[in-house]
Amino acid sequence: METIVLYPSPGMGHVIAMVELAKFILRRRPSTAIAVLIAPPSFNTGSTAAYIRRISATVPSITFHHLPQVTVHDFSSFPSMESVIFHVLRRSNDAVRRTLEQISASAAVSAFIIDFFCPSLAIAKELRIPTYYFITSGACILAFFLCLPEIDETTTESFRDMNTSLNVPGIPAIVPAKDMILPLLDRDSSDYDDFVKFSFDLVKSDGIIVNTFENLETKALRSIREGKCNPGGRTPPVYCVGPLLDSDGHHGGDNECLRWLDGQPERSVVFLCFGSLGLHSAEQLREIAGGLERSGERFLWVVRSPPTADPRKRFEPPPPELERLLPAGFLERTKDRGFVVESWAPQVAVLNHGAVGGFVTHCGWNSVLEAVCAGVPMVAWPIYAEQKMNRVVMVEDMKLAVSMEAAADGFVAAAEVERRVKEVMEAESEVRKVVEVMCQEAKAAVSDGGSSIAALEKLLDLWTSRGK
């Protein structure tokens, strides 16, 4: 049987996007077998494990192969959580090889699709398995990574010390160097070296699959395909197959926050949610509360506990103590127009609810795509990873969002929260009009005859011909 092997990096967003790619493949080629390699349990949160169990029970063509545990003795010895993940994934390479060999012994593996952060390209090349990178961020981030080796060779300063803007083809030139992906800011760090190596490996692959669609990132895609991001070198074929969203997320179930939304007027609620790793300090939470209260707008706000000194709790912080974290009396004073959710809400279902008219987001790419597909304008408030770069593109190029402005230390005042919440909720704003148009473009991309279906069909034809 023809088999495709997928290997996401840890993190709920990465796993969901890869599994949705698997579902997309199965909708076009139902007879295909899909094997998904799951990184060591250290990074499988409870929610990730529950998600995998649900997919295993409902999509029998997808099988999950759990890689063995890799022991991390001292989390504090690593400069960042990203470096811990890189370490664990490198240590998992032997298990990846064994698993690929086992699968290949009983099936023809037509493609190995790996997350950008998974250092397994060389293994697949040795086994002569066509290997494709899957970029869970957009084409603008891909453009940057294709440029990174040249940037590294032509500069000596760390990004954090540069007082210039980056010149990346297809991305607005106003991206400040200091807004670079956080682990890349210091060129002397091991994280920086890892990202540069991954960028070199990108161009050695058989192709690059991106969770985006053609009309969303036209400029970046044109620059990539014309070779402007890797001048003088090879650029692999790029396949845009998005938007790939959590297809189960539309069904939020009998969730209390959805029942609350049922009682709100159309497009009257601003939704605030910052992703599974987007944590705010207690002081920042109080400022957000103050801004929401002063705005007078209806709101649905997902509150997570502030970060702790223990990096292992980053993936699963304890439930928030709302009465302690939020201003005294806030919940009572806003109970008629606000709803605060502890830790998690069914984001896709919320965004697609008719009562939601605006979204304050951390700019994670999955969240951006979910908002676009729901036709909801955004306030961009980046927190970690590549989100500051996403913010620039969302605000300056795509015009899908307004920017939440922070102080130099990243702190956002209540007055700014109030101002941006009011701005995004304006009924006739230009941002809302742009998002509504792009919402239709997103639907067209994954409809019959759409660009994303055409890209996937091209890949499937390649893989099928290899198996003959």
Mean pLDDT (whole number) for 247-262: 79
pLDDT at 250 exceeding the cut of 60: no
pLDDT at 147 exceeding the cut of 70: yes
pLDDT at 403 exceeding the cut of 60: yes
Can 2-242+446-467 and 256-442 be said to share one CATH topology? yes
159/185 Cα distance (integer angstroms): 5
Mean pLDDT (whole number) for 238-243: 99
pLDDT on residue 385? 82
Q: CATH 3.10.20.600: does it fit domain 2-242+446-467?
A: no
Q: Which residues pair with 176 in a beta bridge?
A: 165
pLDDT at 45 exceeding the cut of 60: no
424/114 Cα distance (integer angstroms): 37
365/243 Cα distance (integer angstroms): 10
Do 104 and 129 touch, CB atoms closer than 8 A? yes
Do 260 and 229 touch, CB atoms closer than 8 A? no
pLDDT on residue 183? 83
What tokens were used for 359? 């979204």
Confidence of residue 252 (pLDDT cuts 50, 70, 90): low
User: Each residue of 296-349: pLDDT tens digit?
Assistant: 999 999 999 998 776 556 666 788 999 999 999 999 999 999 999 999 999 999
Q: Which 3 state secondary structure label does DSSP give 112? A: strand
pLDDT at 414 exceeding the cut of 80: yes
Going 146 to 147 to 150 to 153, the CA torsion angle's sign is negative
Helical spans, DSSP H, in 263-358? 282-295, 322-325, 330-333, 347-351
For residue 100, what is the enclosing H or E element? Answer: helix 93-106
pLDDT at 461 exceeding the cut of 60: yes
pLDDT on residue 79? 76
Domain limits, the chain: 2-242+446-467, 256-442
pLDDT at 75 exceeding the cut of 80: no
Do 75 and 47 touch, CB atoms closer than 8 A? no
Q: Which fold has domain 256-442?
A: Rossmann fold (3.40.50)
Q: What is the pTM of this model?
A: 0.94
